[in-house]
Amino acid sequence: MRELADEGGRRWCVWEVHPNPGLPPNGIERRAKPRVTVSAELRGGWLVFESALGDERFRLAPAPRGWRELPDDQLIALRHRGTRVTARRRLIE
């Protein structure tokens, strides 16, 4: 996870996500329907860019190799290439 500021001084948190296929520890799925469905675009993982206030979130797939070592300005440029996503409300908060 990284924290950085964009050109306007707005703070962002960036982290990488890798989907969990949802298989039980023994690797055998006994249910007819899998637990998680992930689009082909996201199966390799993605970057999440979330504003410090939590009011904006962007997703960039696939996550570029070496993103942790990029300078802040290059990482912010990646945020601009990402897709804006709306936050899903959790059933229990």
pLDDT in tens, 45-86: 999 999 999 999 999 999 999 999 999 999 999 999 999 998
Whole-angstrom distance, CA of residue 86 vs CA of residue 29: 31
Higher pLDDT, 20 or 6: 6
Residue type, 24: P
Quick: pLDDT tens for 26-51.
555 566 665 667 788 888 899 999 99
> Which stretch of DSSP H or E encloses residue 74?
helix 72-81
Does the pLDDT value for residue 8 go beyond 80?
Answer: yes
pLDDT at 39: 81
Does the pLDDT value for residue 91 go beyond 90?
Answer: no
Could you tell me if 13 and 1 are in contact, meaning their C-beta atoms sit under 8 angstroms apart?
Answer: yes
Burial-class residue 75 by CB neighbours within 10 Å (0-12, 13-18, 19+): buried
How does residue 16 score in pLDDT terms, banded at 50, 70 and 90? very high
Starting at the edge strand found earlier in the chain, the sheet holding 83-84 runs: 2-5, 11-17, 46-51, 57-60, 83-84
